[in-house]
Amino acid sequence: MKITAQEEYGIRLLLRIANCNSPEGLTIPRLSEAEGLSQHYVAKLCRLLRMNGFIKSNRGKEGGYTLAQHPQEVSINEVLTILGGKLYSQEFCEKHSGLLPDCSRSCTCSVRSVWQLVQDAVDQVLNQYSLLDLMNLENGNKRNELPTPERKKTIQIFDSQFSK
């Protein structure tokens, strides 16, 4: 079980966009430079994040990417699922049955129950974290601690954007 590069960098890009105080957001070249990734890869990740409603693009010369929803509403579990899928799902056994049309152990599989327990535990932890929690942790605050004055300003910007 590994976190993929796509999952890691997707979360990093979301954090970078969330921490941007500019109403225009961040462009692909700026995100690329800040994260040390190719522009092509950043564009691919931004497309995934945009198509799934996490970020939005602002067109024009000064345009860029901004969050599409308040960071407190962005579930880390949802983002990771979009970027890389679940560790385990019931469809896994349907897709990987070997040479047989159905898994030979479909009725007596002890492994499947272990994978489901692992997935449930991972979901339980990840569902407790929002993008705002990661922003606080990244900025030296505890997860539920009140943010610094600069972070409060960013949150006020989010609150004004998303309360319309």
Three-point CA angle 113, 117, 120, nearest 5°: 135
Question: Cβ(155)–Cβ(148) under 8 Å?
Answer: no
Task: Round to whole Å and give the CA distance between 43 and 33.
Answer: 13
What's the whole-model pTM score? 0.77
Token output for 98: 């070997």
State which amino acid sits at residue 135.
M
Task: For each of the domains in the chain, give its residue range(s) and CATH number, in order of start.
Answer: 5-74+130-162 (1.10.10.10)
Element (H, E) at 65: strand 65-67
What is the chain's pLDDT, residue by residue, as a tens digit (164 residues)? 678 999 999 999 999 999 998 888 999 999 999 999 999 999 999 999 999 999 999 887 777 999 999 999 999 999 999 999 888 777 766 665 556 656 655 566 778 788 888 889 899 999 999 999 999 888 776 655 545 555 555 555 556 655 55
57: helix, strand or coil: strand
Type of residue numbered 87: L
